[in-house]
């Protein structure tokens, strides 16, 4: 990431804007310069001007601003969880995090949670179709905890989604603090 002097950036934007309008960049007078008035050059100058404006809006920083440090997932918000419908782990994690949507929190990834469930015997990797890829599927322990498999996709591109029933969602909510500590 690189940072530029904002005053120089403002001056460059004025000059580029003038040239894109077919004017002399220094004195702002109209010019008959065929290069500056070429439609391809004008489009290019407008593009460069857009990039400079975006850089200016980013306080002279090219690329993403350094994000603030994310705070740990606030486990107390799990108490606000209410079952809505059976859903996948990604949607469930989003719902868990909803009460803190205005905060910059570190939400655990679905991959990490699936790995925890696998390590604790609730999920296992299994090939559903011969020659296909392995998918997480509930074990009998997982099924007893409210997890079930739902098949989807089209012929040749089938997949399995692990779904969480109300019982499965409550199970995950009850174990969420332990999961966060172990992932």
Tell me the helix, strand and coil percentages in the chain, rounded to 5. 45, 20, 35
More confident residue, 97 or 153: 97
% of the chain residues with pLDDT over 90: 48
Residue 161 reports pLDDT greater than 80: yes
> Which of 16-30, 49-63, 93-107, 108-122 is least confident?
49-63
- pLDDT tier for residue 90 given thresholds of 50, 70 and 90: very high
Whether the Cβ atoms of residue 75 and residue 107 lie closer than 8 Å to each other: no
Q: Which residues of 166-181 are buried (b: 16+ CB within 10 A; e: fewer)?
A: eebbebbbebbeebbe
pTM to 2 decimal places: 0.62
- What's residue 67's pLDDT? 58
pLDDT in tens, 130-159: 777 788 999 999 999 999 999 887 776 777
- What's residue 65's pLDDT? 57
Whether the Cβ atoms of residue 106 and residue 73 lie closer than 8 Å to each other: yes
- What's residue 68's pLDDT? 65
- What's residue 13's pLDDT? 84
Between β-strands 2-3 and 61-62, what pairing exists: parallel, antiparallel or unpaired? antiparallel
The torsion angles phi and psi of 30, rounded to 5 degrees, stand at -60, 150
Burial of 55 (0-12, 13-18, 19+ CB in 10 A): buried
- What's residue 6's pLDDT? 75
- What's residue 19's pLDDT? 85
Whether the Cβ atoms of residue 156 and residue 131 lie closer than 8 Å to each other: no
% of the chain residues with pLDDT over 70: 92
Average the pLDDT over 51-80 and give the result: 79
- C-alpha 91/C-alpha 94 separation (Å) is 5
**Average pLDDT value for the chain:** 87
More confident residue, 78 or 158: 78
pLDDT in tens, 163-174: 999 999 999 999
- C-alpha 72/C-alpha 112 separation (Å) is 15
């Amino acid at each position: 990431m690189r940072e530029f002097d904002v005053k120089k950036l403002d001056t460059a934007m004025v000059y580029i804007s003038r040239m894109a309008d077919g004017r002399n960049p220094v004195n702002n007078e109209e010019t008959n310069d065929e290069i500056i008035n070429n439609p391809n050059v004008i489009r290019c100058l407008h593009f460069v001007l857009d990039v400079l404006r975006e850089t200016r809006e980013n306080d002279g920083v090219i690329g993403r601003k350094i994000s603030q440090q994310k705070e740990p997932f606030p486990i107390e918000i799990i108490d606000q969880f209410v079952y809505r419908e059976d859903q996948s782990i990604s949607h469930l994690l989003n719902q868990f995090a909803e009460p803190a949507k205005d905060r910059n929190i570190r939400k655990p990834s679905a991959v990490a949670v699936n790995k925890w469930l696998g390590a604790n015997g609730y999920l296992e990797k299994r090939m559903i179709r011969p020659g296909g890829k392995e998918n997480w599927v509930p074990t009998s322990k997982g099924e007893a905890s409210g997890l079930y498999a739902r098949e989807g996709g089209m012929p040749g591109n089938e997949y399995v989604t692990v779904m969480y029933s109300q019982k499965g969602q409550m199970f995950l909510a009850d174990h969420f603090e332990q999961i966060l500590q172990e992932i």
